[in-house]
Amino acid sequence: EPLCRSGVWRFHELLPFADPEKVVTIGEGQTPLMASEGVGSFVGMKPGQLFLEYEGMNPSGSFKDNGMTAAFTHAHTIGAKRAACASTGNTSASLALYCCVSKLMQAVIFIGSGKISYGKLSQALDYGALTIQIAGDFDDAMQRVREISSRLGIYLVNSVNPFRLEGQKTIMFRVLESLNWEVPDWIVVPGGNLGNSSSFAKAFHELKELGLVDRIPRLAIINAKGADTLYELVENRGLRWNQGKPNSEVMDTYYAELDAAHLRADTIASAIEINRPVNLFKCLRGLECMDGVVREVTDQQILDAKAQVGMSGLGCEPASAASVAGAKMLREEGIIDPSERVVCILTGHQLKDPTATVAYHTSDQKEFDRVLGSRGVSRAAFANR
Ligand code: F0G
């Protein structure tokens, strides 16, 4: 039966908002959890303690399909005919694919100018989505799509949509299933719009309430330096959920500073090149629930970690490798212990964003300079290959 072929909907009892008859699935969530000795030793873990959850295996090549099937199912249930998103590329690829395969809706996509990798853009175009490039970056595109979709009654599938987050909870269900329901010590995830981190916390909160787990792992959210709002606010300025009363003036002040300085997000990890994460408050609640920490990693740390992930046989895109780079940082700080069990989420497939990969590995200086020249990156870590 089709629900069983989905790594999301075989948990439909834990997603009770959806009528099983209305579920729109394209076989998402068939993703492996793999132990990696190479990445484990790079991070500094004892053998067998580092796991990679490979969300690149999804039909559109990223974790987004977990959430898209849920949002899309809801959209279908309420009879939506058009669905929209702003995207750094993966949400749009996923939406375009669900629209194309199901033929239930038209996809309308907003992207920032020059900000999206060709791999991801080509998915949206091939799947036939109406693709609109706006002057500005993701944060601008996000604001525009929120206005336009509410004005025109278009169904919005960005992770402000709560059903997206319901679907993404299943990433944690599958991690637990693969570990025979033994709760790991750490979940490490890249942070962009902060949908994943929020949904992971909700997943564990609910599983604990249901008595299906006896404890909750710690959460590490990894920002890219240059797109580090969460890190700055939580680790440097003391923004907290505080059981329902976030000290949000800290956030208002920071955003006013960003505006005054005309500061734009900038990182090689284009998927998470975001300065105004829409799920910031949900994520604060998640950090409280999972005793979480936030770190930021440089382009260099991301690319070195990505090359190491590649050696494990599971290629990922730059944003995904932030999780591994962040785990290494927390291990070096002594916050993660080498004998703990760590799960890093690899959010997107290697083929999504090959430009940075080629530039990092090539001996063609021109190509290196074109892509990475302004980023203070060197290939030192892998020069001996
Ligand atoms: N990793 C990848 C590969 C992503 O595409 C994204 C987000 C994230 C991590 C961050 O996840 O938002 O849950 O914190 N990509 C969005 C997009 C913004 O438009 O595709 P998050």
- What DSSP line would sit under 147-174, residue for residue? HHHHHHTPEE-STTSHHHHHHHHHHHHH
The highest-confidence range among 66-80, 109-123, 370-384, by mean pLDDT, is 66-80
Residue 192 Cα: closest atom of ligand 1? 14
291 contacts: CB under 8 Å, gap ≥ 6: 216, 218, 219
Question: For 212, phi and psi rounded to 5 degrees?
Answer: -85, -20
Q: What is the pLDDT of residue 384?
A: 46
Amino acid at 297: V
Whether 2 shows a pLDDT value over 90: the answer reads: no
pLDDT, tens digit, 9 for 90 and up, residues 284-338: 999 999 999 999 999 999 999 999 999 999 999 999 999 999 999 999 999 999 9
| Residue 165 to residue 50: CA distance in whole angstroms | 25
Q: What is the pLDDT of residue 192?
A: 97
Is ligand 1 within 6 A of the CB of residue 265? no
The residue-averaged pLDDT of 89-108 equals 98
For residue 247, the number of C-alpha atoms closer than 13 Å in the C-beta half-sphere is 10
Whether 381 shows a pLDDT value over 70: the answer reads: no
Residue nearest to atom 10 of ligand 1 (CA): 192
The yes/no answer to whether this complex scores an ipTM above 0.90 is yes
- Residues of the chain above pLDDT 90, percent: 92
C-alpha triplet 148, 149, 151: angle, nearest 5°: 65
Which pTM value belongs to this model?
A: 0.97
| Residue 198 to residue 59: CA distance in whole angstroms | 23
| Residue 166 to residue 123: CA distance in whole angstroms | 25
CA 271 to centroid of ligand 1, rounded, Å: 5
Residue nearest to atom 4 of ligand 1 (CA): 271
Range list for CATH 3.40.50.1100 in the chain: 33-60+162-354, 63-156
8 contacts: CB under 8 Å, gap ≥ 6: 15, 25, 28, 29, 66, 69, 70, 167, 170
pLDDT, tens digit, 9 for 90 and up, residues 59-77: 999 999 999 999 999 999 9
Q: What is the pLDDT of residue 379?
A: 77
pLDDT, tens digit, 9 for 90 and up, residues 343-370: 999 999 999 999 999 999 998 999 999 9
Q: Which residues of 23-59 are buried (b: 16+ CB within 10 A; e: fewer)?
A: bbbbbbbebebbebeebbebbebeeebbbbbbbbbbb
CATH architecture classification, 33-60+162-354: 3-Layer(aba) Sandwich (3.40)
Is ligand 1 within 6 A of the CB of residue 90? yes
Provide the token pair at 97: 């694919």
Is ligand 1 within 6 A of the CB of residue 233? no
Whether 173 shows a pLDDT value over 50: the answer reads: yes
| Residue 192 to residue 199: CA distance in whole angstroms | 13
The residue-averaged pLDDT of 99-126 equals 95
CA 1 to centroid of ligand 1, rounded, Å: 30
Average pLDDT, the chain: 95
Return the CATH fold of 63-156.
Rossmann fold (3.40.50)
Whether 6 shows a pLDDT value over 50: the answer reads: yes
The residue-averaged pLDDT of 112-120 equals 90
Q: 3-state SS of 320-383? A: HHHHHHHHHHHHHCCCCCCCCCEEEEECEEHHHCHHHHHHHHCCCHHHHHHHHHHHCCCCHHHC
Residue 382: pLDDT band (50, 70, 90) is: low
Is ligand 1 within 6 A of the CB of residue 270? no
Q: What is the pLDDT of residue 24?
A: 96
Question: For 349, phi and psi rounded to 5 degrees?
Answer: -70, 150
pLDDT, tens digit, 9 for 90 and up, residues 139-159: 999 999 999 999 999 999 999
Whether 385 shows a pLDDT value over 70: the answer reads: no
Mutate to test the pocket of ligand 1, among 193, 202, 223 (most ligand atoms within 8 A of CB): 193
Per DSSP bridges, beta strands 33-35 and 218-224 are: unpaired
Whether 383 shows a pLDDT value over 60: the answer reads: no
Eight-state DSSP code of residue 46: P
pLDDT, tens digit, 9 for 90 and up, residues 189-246: 999 999 999 999 999 999 999 999 999 999 999 999 999 999 999 999 999 999 889 9
Residue nearest to atom 19 of ligand 1 (CA): 87
Whether 110 shows a pLDDT value over 70: the answer reads: yes
